Structure 1
Amino acid sequence: MTNNPATPVPDSTPTRTDAVADADAVASDGAPASLDQGTYTRLVEPRSANRLDLAQGVWHQISRKYLWVQLISSGTVLLLVAVVVAVLSLVLHQPWALIPGGIVAVILIWTMAILPRQLRAIGYQLRDDDLVFRRGILWQRMVAVPYGRMQLVDITHGPLDRGFGIAQLKFVTAAATTGVTIPGLEQTTAETLRDHLVAVAESRRTGL
């Protein structure tokens, strides 16, 4: 009988383009397969050659549902601003309210317009010794949290998050500046990732 050749280990890439690539990527970093269900499939990066770059490993992304949560939240604030401005200017005859109201409305509309691109720039990577979190396009942030330094892994979600079945995962360490919050995770993904990180962190602390 001829033995089947060993399956080659796939190269680590920062993006995932199909379901097969997702399965291989998860196998390469030891993360549960459910981390990539319902997420974006391509990480958006700044075009500048001087951007913060971490090419090694696989980037997992957040749920697409998080976009709707943010749009509804911003849209609600925009509606409230419009109502307040209308009452002040039309009912109370305070036309000056149109100026600050217009400025706030422009900022909110601009924020909502660039939100899809901003959310696709959020990602996290599970490496051998730490978790790396990244976000931002114009202002980039990249934080590495060692597994052995994690003191608390917390899941939180508000009423709107629960309606869409998503949550945020927060890591607390001894140094407050290295704390990380990953927003917009599927609730099952957040729970799976929490259990995975707790197990890995415990093994690092016990030296296994």
Structure 2
Amino acid sequence: MSTSEKPNLSIPMWGHLLPAGPQIEARDGRKWTFDAAEIVAAFRANGASLPVDYEHGQDLAAPKGLLAPAAGWIEDVDVRDGAIWAQIEWTERAAKLITDRAYRFLSASMRTTSDNRVLSLRGAALVNRPALRVEPLQTEPDEAETAREASQLICLAREHLADQTALGRKLTLTDAILSVRDGAHGLPHLPQDRKETQ
């Protein structure tokens, strides 16, 4: 893979929904309280996946009769150091937007009481300006693709090493790997008839 190409990225399966509680505060000053164990229990008692949409479409667009397609589905929730994380199965469209860094954050949709106590999750949205201080969605190089590319690189390096050895040049396999990786293996070859007489 050349340095100009994008790496193949794996879509994050887990996203950060709520900062560590029990008290949380939005960037605009709004405040809520929640019990992490209650949030998890409510999700599992519901017995159904929750939608992840775009820009809170379920809350803002759907009530007006407008389309609010899902970007993914929350399949499980977990507590990590007091924070709420969600396991999400993404749609193909959303996965591409995330790996292209068109969307980087999740924003929770919550069912709350009049005194701003969070009772349960209603879903979440892909956003770029989350109200809460949550971690960005992290994309990582696809492990299987990375392994395939590494294997291909080693094969090309071995071929390059054999070619250079036949030309009388002394290279190590490491040298050959670096040369192939950096695209610097265009060294001149001897004519075919000279190679056969060596």
> Shorter-normalised TM-score: what interval?
under 0.3
Higher relative contact order (CA 8 A, sep 6+): 2
State the TM-score, normalized to the length of structure 2: 0.26
State the TM-score, normalized to the length of structure 1: 0.25
Larger % of helix: which? 1
Larger % of strand: which? 2
Q: Which has the larger radius of gyration?
A: 2
